[in-house]
Amino acid sequence: MNKNKLIRLKNLLAVPTYTWEEDELIQYIVENASDLCDTMEIDDIGNMYLTKGRAEHYPCFVAHLDTVHQKVDMVVEEEMLPNAQGELKLSLKAYEEISGQPTGIGGDDKAGVFICLELLRELDNCKIFLPVAEETGCNGSREANPEFFKDVGYAIQFDSTENNTMSKTLMGVPLYEENGPFITKVKNTIKKYGLTEWRHHPYTDTMILKNNFDFSCLNFAAGDYRYHTSEEYVVIEDVENTLNLAKKVVKILGNKKHKFKLSPNPTKSFIL
């Protein structure tokens, strides 16, 4: 990762954010990403909607704005820490500014937010959806503005763990048609970039999007380790790998609609 990109990653990870207390991160994005997109809208509860370029159908990138960690002033340090394969890699870990004690860096899902903003920077046409309050039941995405998604061709979220995982389902909800043309086009590329563990995961925002809309979804690893703990850290190389994977997937899928409509009420029994 080049120097400027690494600075952007460290700066974003240093912004404290908590469920229903995402205001500082929202302001950071307004100040640092407004000039990267054509439109930026924030709804009444804080969900952010960004659009760049013109396309019949857009890839939509998704990451949630909240973390589980109480807001504290933090210092982000570089350390050598293990990836999923046990290799020591340059990583980012957070410490409380006053006490010096480890505090959760919030890579879940600030690493995902970073990837979304870098894609906004690098691609000509895309949409970004950054919902609030995912950690307590996808509250933000449940209130997402349907108008924003009318021209979305497919969505990719960055909220899976470590460097080798991807969601097949979320709370039993399939994100794409098994063996369908959408996943068939990209599955070899996804595996080539190291995401070989395709799992049945708990909820995140693409579950709600898949339930409400008729486009295919993916949820990729974002380089976050020991999530939801004070020892949480982010492996820099893994973040960049997923960023490069997303760009490759967009190149393959293009600005087209990749339709996948669920049967009625797939989450009828889903209760938080």
What does the CA dihedral 5, 76, 50, 41 come to, rounded to 10 degrees?
A: -140
Q: In sequence order, which residues have a C-beta less than 8 Å from that of residue 178 and are 6 or more positions away?
A: none
Residue 182, burial from CB neighbour count under 10 angstroms (0-12, 13-18, 19+)? buried
Q: What is the pLDDT of residue 262?
A: 86
**Encoding tokens for residue 195?**
């995401």
Q: What is the pLDDT of residue 263?
A: 76
Mean pLDDT value across residues 149-164? 98
The proportion of the chain whose per-residue pLDDT surpasses 70, expressed as a percent, equals: 97
Which band of pLDDT confidence, cut at 50, 70 and 90, is reported for residue 269? very low
Q: Is the pLDDT of residue 163 over 80?
A: yes
Question: Which pLDDT tens digit goes with each residue over 37-84?
Answer: 999 999 999 999 999 999 999 999 999 999 999 999 999 999 999 999
Q: What is the pLDDT of residue 147?
A: 97
Average pLDDT, the chain: 95
Whether residue 16 contacts residue 71, with contact meaning beta carbons closer than 8 Å, is answered with: yes
Which band of pLDDT confidence, cut at 50, 70 and 90, is reported for residue 261? confident
Q: How many helices (H) and strands (E) does the chain have?
A: 7, 14
Superfamily of domain 16-71+106-229+238-253: Zn peptidases (3.40.630.10)
Which band of pLDDT confidence, cut at 50, 70 and 90, is reported for residue 33? very high
Residue 38, burial from CB neighbour count under 10 angstroms (0-12, 13-18, 19+)? exposed
Which band of pLDDT confidence, cut at 50, 70 and 90, is reported for residue 265? low
Q: What is the pLDDT of residue 185?
A: 97
